[in-house]
Chain A
Amino acid sequence: MSKYILEMNNITKEFPGVKALSDVNFKVEKGEIHCLIGENGAGKSTLMKVLSGVYPYGTYKGDIVFEGKVQQFNEINDSVRAGIGIIYQELALFPDLTVYENIFAGNEIKKGPFVDWNETVVQATRMLKKVKLNVTPETLIKDLGVGKQQLVEIAKALSKDVKLLILDEPTAALNENDSENLLDLLKELKSQGISCIMISHKLKEVISIADKATVLRDGKTICTLDARKGEITESIIIKNMVGREIEDIYPKRPDKKIGETVLKLTDWSAYDTQLGREVAKNINLEVKKGEIVGIAGLMGSGRTELALSIFGNPKNYKLNGELEVHGEKKNFKHTSDAIKAGIAYVTEDRKGDGLFLIQDIKINVSAAHMKGISKKGILNLNEEVKVGTDYKKSLNIKASSLEQVVGKLSGGNQQKVSLGKWLFTGPRILILDEPTRGIDVGAKFEIYTIMNELIKEGLSIIMISSELGEIMGMSDRIYVMAEGAVRGELAIEETTQETIMELATQ
């Protein structure tokens, strides 16, 4: 028997137009905790989806060897049966069911055709003891905190006789105490011979717990570090995570003409009543006329929430603090107020909440500024066509006609439509949330060029991005966020990828 419980050999996974994984090798020994590290979009989640059978056998190239046998997982249940348990960042529990029902959901203990509830409770109690969770099995999931829910998830995996446990950023939503408990539990499970793969952005955690760490970057394995050889240190990991030359895809910035402050946040906080936690904490931030302010940070660091809290607060957070736009204190009641004040927000998820996919290009472009194509509420459809044509030309949107349905355009062209829609509102402050996610290099360059033109015209841009290259290539000033708070403000001259990563992974 080999010493590896899992070997993933030469895994290549392609999506239309993108190579998400190319020739990835990843090996996990029996009874070790192996961390998987990489920037957003490096391919970590894709790799885990290949492993767990979300992407079935045949849709990728390469071998998965689990416990010495080549495996062909056609669906998630196959990998579960083999002994692989995966716990996603977004917990997959039923909030209105009890702990014991959740632990055995989909894996019910039966007596004949019926569920044996008594045995279920007995087994659930045993599992809870194993994960050191001190609640009664009858507790409802929604009455538990996130940390305890996480433990229920692990108990659920253990009940299926798991040999390899995969955790996708398990501590992202946890506080210090809960995180520590969880990490202790993982060590405990390790001593019982359960191997564990943990995806994490928090380097301190990785350093404290990992036996090995594999770094992925741009869909490739960069290296596997070994704690026994003293290789798992912050500087080595960061170097391997970012170690790419900033490609020369950023157009030269025009001469800066930075003017007065146009947007200012003072002790700004946002509390999400649905999640029951603060998504933005005590933020002080300033944006000046004619500058691009980058907001760096990892996914879930609260950047989008911050943007929404400024942009008319559509999620109804409880807000605290002061927002000043062009020197005036503002209290936006609706997104339309923010738009009137000259703010535009190009969303991160253009398909989800950015565009009207079933409508055509011209309707999308005019959607946020209907006043521009109407008089007293009556539309001028010809004016709309004219506006659409203008933006199609100036933003170089490639489509057969203005009547083309936006859902059928490529990502880059969709992003340009989205941008066009907001430029038509005539904004003074433009918030771009991941402006180049999922679009090709050519379109990226075009968008960067447009951004430079806009600041030359005196607009201010707030750019939220997870891509370090983009942040450093485009911004004049950078705020780094983590866990809802601003961890640092950097002038572009003093910024390196390493300093950003350090602040973001604190």
Chain B
Amino acid sequence: MNLFTEAKSIIKLNIRDYGMYIALIVIMLTFTIMTDGLFISSRNISNLLDSAGYIAVLAVGMTLVIVIRHIDLSVGFVAGFLGAVAAIFMTQLGFSIWITIPVILLFGIIIGCFNGFLIAQLGIPAFVATLASMLIFRGALLNITEDTGTIIINNDQFNAIGNGFIPSLMVVNGLHLLSLLVGVAAILLYIYSEISTRKNKMTYGFDVMSSGIFLIKLLLVSLVIAYITWILAGYNGFSWTMIIMLMVVVIYHFLTTKTVLGRNIYAVGSNPEAAHLSGINVKKITYIVFGSMGMLAALSGLLFTARLQSATTTAGTLFELDAIAAAYVGGVSSAGGVGRVTGAIIGAVVMACLSSGMNLLGTGISYQYMIRGGVLAAAVIFDVMTRRQRA
């Protein structure tokens, strides 16, 4: 097989997975051209990724919830509520962030497990159960912020999570050294893991991509990482939000693709009855997925609160729908069993790109909503069409 036909067949087989990457590149190129390069500037990309952070972490959790054929409408106000609780902890109770953050994440898990209890144990449809939680936590948020109104946070350490950047160590030619090093480390890690996977496969005697294609793939992905690093290093480097986002993706990607737990989640989503008969504890998986959703909602609340440097009475409004939209743009399927964590992040970035690009172009907010709706519809249509091809 020559290089070209092999590449073609790989793309054809994986069009579903590559579709959103292609969409993302097209959207970015379009905005770059339309804004004369302003869109792709270091500062804009940095802001864009930061603004995507709190939705992206929600989208990761939401993807798993949708994979097991449920939905979670409560995450927006859970995020808002826990963000406010965090603010109260730090401003009124004087807790340090080292206590606040773990406790808030734990609260998130507890709330998520409560949703899981309603859904798995009592058999209440997820839509209704989490709608109830949404109302409860909306009320709870108003209740704890009623007296104070917006709570301003003066804790610099905490606010850095949403606004700060990793230290630069040294600036070389206007580029932040530590960020560059992080980028280089990422590339090396990527190349190492790809090569070891390939070697491992070869010791088992399995087919692998031809070395030509393999090199091209390594090169392409490394270039993309290098380019992003270079752009970011030219502004303030990697922000803490980006690092947190990256960590969430890496951990969840590993969990979903390389562990028994991940496999069980997809099994439950593919066919709950068959999963049960295969000895998989469907209830337990439901608890875990909702628990993780709750934890990520808490994380999202922390990111958002830190970004605003304050907790407001309306924090979290419509987060859940943005997260659901991002998950669907990222290729999750409501029929269950299909959807990737990496897709969710790309989905969130696509949505952030749309907002950012249209803001730069001065598009009216009314049109922005319509266009984002159109993109969501297009993503789902693409998903349905490619699935029909496969099945």
Contacts and interface: CB of A to CB of B under 8 A. Distances in A.
Interface string A402-428: 000101100000000000010000000
Contact of A335 (B260, B270, B276, B391): B276
Given A345-B277, A385-B204, A377 B259 contact: yes
Contacts of A312: 279
B280 interface: yes
A356 B270 contact: yes
Contact of A354 (B201, B204, B258, B277): B277
A353 interface: yes
Contact of B271 (A355, A385, A408): A355
B279 A336 contact: yes
B63 interface: no
Nearest to A338: B279
Contacts of B276: 314, 335, 353
Contacts, number: 87
A379 interface: yes
A76 interface: no
B281 A358 contact: no
A295 interface: no
A335 B262 CA distance: 20
B388 interface: no
A354 B276 CA distance: 10
A405 B281 CA distance: 24
B277 A381 contact: no
Contacts of A405: 390-391
A358 B337 contact: yes
* Interface range on chain B (Cβ under 8 Å from partner): 20 to 34
Contacts of A377: 259-261
B273 A352 contact: yes
A366 B280 CA distance: 12
Contacts of B278: 335, 367-368, 421
A378 interface: yes
Contacts of B204: 382, 385-386
B260 A356 contact: no
A359 B335 CA distance: 13
Contact of A353 (B261, B273, B391): B273
Contacts of B274: 347, 353-356, 367
Contacts of B337: 356, 358-359
A332 to B, nearest CB: 10
Nearest to B254: A378
Contacts of B279: 312, 334-336, 338-339, 368
A311 B276 CA distance: 11
A367 B260 CA distance: 9
Nearest to B273: A353
B206 A382 contact: yes
A320 interface: no
B261 to A, nearest CB: 6
B228 interface: no
A379 B255 CA distance: 10
* Interface range on chain A (Cβ under 8 Å from partner): 35 or more
A259 B251 CA distance: 51
Interface in B347-391: 390-391
Contacts of B262: 379
Contacts of B390: 405
Contact of B270 (A358, A379, A381, A386): A358
A338 B338 CA distance: 29
A353 B280 contact: no
B271 A336 contact: no
Interface in B212-271: 258-264, 266-267, 270-271
A89 interface: no
B264 A370 contact: yes
Contacts of B157: none
Contact of B201 (A311, A358, A382, A421): A382
The interface centre, meaning the residue of B201, B204, B335 with most chain A CB atoms within 10 A of its CB, is B204
B258 A357 contact: no
A19 to B, nearest CB: 26
B16 to A, nearest CB: 12
B200 interface: yes
Interface in A347-389: 347, 352-359, 363, 366-368, 370-371, 374, 377-379, 381-382, 385-386
A365 to B, nearest CB: 11
The interface centre, meaning the residue of B201, B266, B271 with most chain A CB atoms within 10 A of its CB, is B271
Interface string B271-311: 10111111111000000000000000000000000000000
Contacts of A366: 263
Contacts of A338: 279
Contact of B391 (A311, A354, A374, A407): A407
A378 B276 CA distance: 21
B220 to A, nearest CB: 23
A236 B196 CA distance: 72
Contacts of A356: 267, 270-271, 274-275, 337
Nearest to B336: A358
Contacts of B280: 336, 367
A305 B246 CA distance: 49
A357 B201 contact: no
Contact of B281 (A336, A359, A363, A378): A336
A359 B279 CA distance: 17
B271 A363 contact: no
Contacts of A352: 273
Contacts of B264: 370
A254 to B, nearest CB: 30
A368 to B, nearest CB: 4
Nearest to A334: B281
The interface centre, meaning the residue of B204, B267, B277 with most chain A CB atoms within 10 A of its CB, is B277
A462 B276 CA distance: 21
Contact of B277 (A347, A358, A370, A386): A347
A379 B271 contact: no
B270 A359 contact: yes
B18 to A, nearest CB: 16
Nearest to B264: A370
Contacts of A334: 279, 281
The interface centre, meaning the residue of B200, B263, B273, B335 with most chain A CB atoms within 10 A of its CB, is B263
Nearest to B338: A358
The interface centre, meaning the residue of A312, A347, A353, A385 with most chain B CB atoms within 10 A of its CB, is A353
A497 B335 CA distance: 45
A413 to B, nearest CB: 16
A259 to B, nearest CB: 26
Contacts of B200: 382
Given A358-B337, A374-B259, A379-B262, 9 more contacts: A335-B278, A339-B279, A354-B277, A367-B263, A368-B278, A370-B263, A374-B260, A382-B204, A386-B204
19 contacts: A311-B277, A335-B278, A353-B271, A353-B277, A355-B271, A356-B270, A356-B271, A356-B275, A356-B337, A359-B337, A363-B263, A363-B266, A367-B267, A371-B260, A374-B260, A378-B259, A379-B260, A408-B391, A421-B278
Interface of B: 200-201, 204, 206, 258-264, 266-267, 270-271, 273-281, 335, 337-338, 390-391
Chain A to chain B: the 5 pairs with minimum beta-carbon distance, closest first: A336-B279, A353-B273, A356-B270, A368-B278, A339-B279
